[in-house]
Amino acid sequence: MSSEFVIDVAGITKRFGDKTVVNGLDLQVARGEIFGFLGPNGSGKTTFIRMLCGLLTPEAGRGTCLGFDVLREQREIRTHVGYMTQRFSFYEDLSVRENLDFVARLYAVPERRRTVEAAIERLGFAGRSHQLAGQLSGGWKQRLALAACLIHSPQLLLLDEPTAGVDPKARREFWGEIHQLAAAGLTVLITTHYMDEAERCHRLGYIAYGNMLARGTVEEVVRGANLTTWEVSGRALAGVAEALRGREGVEQVVPFGNTLHVTGREPARLEAAIAPWRQNPGLAWKQIPSGLEDVFISLMGSTSEQMR
């Protein structure tokens, strides 16, 4: 395993009873990189993250996280990782300052009071430090969770769907902060279902049923999917969609605003499938580059078929 990677693991596997939740995953993440995980609910993303940060022990596999062995040095890993869970997990009847101070005590942070004050200033809590955490909006709760994750100056940040239920402005501000942290050398692993967030990652991976099906930059993932996509606009698109679904060569028909995206993996068969409708003067067709959402839906569809 190379020391140039903050995360460098191979064959990581986790089972619960007879069910394999994570199946032989390999991953390498460099310092300062933002790596995003996509995948349906129950795909193994959260379980994999918990193994990386030392909260779960793999049944099989090997590797290091922050230079520590993921099988034998889990305690050391936990002290150097910031982990933000899907749900707000701090004390709602304590103030912002009290929550941050409590977490700082848990990590035995040196110069605790000064560190807490710096965290309050950095994430804009100066006027809210005495407000109870339970009274914060979703966006401010998210900021508090991030501040708590950073209070001990971790080298790796693990974020599990951190922006679920947060408004677009707060999400944009959150991602601005994440990119600043990465630019300063912090490594970030993040799970998300938002395509715009996935596109903000340096690299990403798609996991389904415990298997890594695609990985790379957005461009590499899209190119590797080998999809052809046609956009159609015009009248009575619902009828067009119904007629096209299930035709040979058509993998998916998905509404996008006032248009449809019609996608397939074999260009010739796809063109043959849509040919009768391309003669309709009320419809406008054009071939467009496939997007990450097209790829995501395609991967979800293909893995669902495999599991039937």
Residue 107 lies in a domain: yes
Looking at the structure, tell me whether residues 75 and 162 fall in a common domain: yes
**H helix intervals, the chain:** 45-52, 74-79, 96-106, 112-122, 138-150, 168-183, 195-198, 218-225, 237-244, 267-278, 292-307
Residue 176 lies in a domain: yes
Give the residue with greater pLDDT, 166 vs 140: 140
Average pLDDT of the chain, as a whole number: 90
Looking at the structure, tell me whether residues 134 and 163 fall in a common domain: no
Looking at the structure, tell me whether residues 252 and 285 fall in a common domain: yes
Residue ranges making up the domain that contains 200: 5-80+154-220
Beta strand 203-208 pairing with 211-216 = antiparallel
Looking at the structure, tell me whether residues 66 and 213 fall in a common domain: yes
Please give the pLDDT value at position 308. Answer: 45
Rounded Cα distance, 12 and 169, in Å? 36
Looking at the structure, tell me whether residues 115 and 232 fall in a common domain: no
Q: How many domains does the chain have?
A: 3
Q: What pLDDT digit, counting tens, does each position of 162-215 carry?
A: 887 778 888 888 899 999 999 999 999 999 888 889 999 999 999 998 999 999
What token pair was written down for 186? 């912090």
Looking at the structure, tell me whether residues 101 and 184 fall in a common domain: no
Residue 101 lies in a domain: yes
Judged by average pLDDT, the poorest of 25-39, 120-134, 145-159, 219-233 is 120-134
- The per-type count for the chain, helices as H runs and strands as E runs, is 11, 14
Distances (CA, A) of 166 to 105, 142, 175, 201, 247: 29, 8, 12, 18, 39
Judged by average pLDDT, the poorest of 41-45, 174-178, 300-304 is 300-304
Identify the band that residue 3 occupies on the pLDDT scale cut at 50, 70 and 90: low
Please give the pLDDT value at position 1. Answer: 41
Looking at the structure, tell me whether residues 25 and 143 fall in a common domain: no
Looking at the structure, tell me whether residues 54 and 179 fall in a common domain: yes
Is the pLDDT assigned to residue 43 strictly greater than 80?
yes
Looking at the structure, tell me whether residues 241 and 179 fall in a common domain: no
Residue 305 lies in a domain: no
Residue 302 lies in a domain: no
Residue 294 lies in a domain: no
Looking at the structure, tell me whether residues 214 and 118 fall in a common domain: no
Which CATH number is 196's domain given? 3.40.50.300
Looking at the structure, tell me whether residues 279 and 158 fall in a common domain: no
How far is residue 101 CA from its own chain's centroid?
Answer: 29
Identify the band that residue 2 occupies on the pLDDT scale cut at 50, 70 and 90: very low
Q: What pLDDT digit, counting tens, does each position of 53-112 carry?
A: 889 999 999 999 999 999 999 999 999 999 988 777 788 899 999 999 999 999 999 999
Is the pLDDT assigned to residue 301 strictly greater than 90?
no
Residue 52 lies in a domain: yes
Please give the pLDDT value at position 66. Answer: 94
C-alpha gyration radius of the chain? 22
Residue 90 lies in a domain: no
Is the pLDDT assigned to residue 8 strictly greater than 60?
yes
Model-level pTM?
0.88
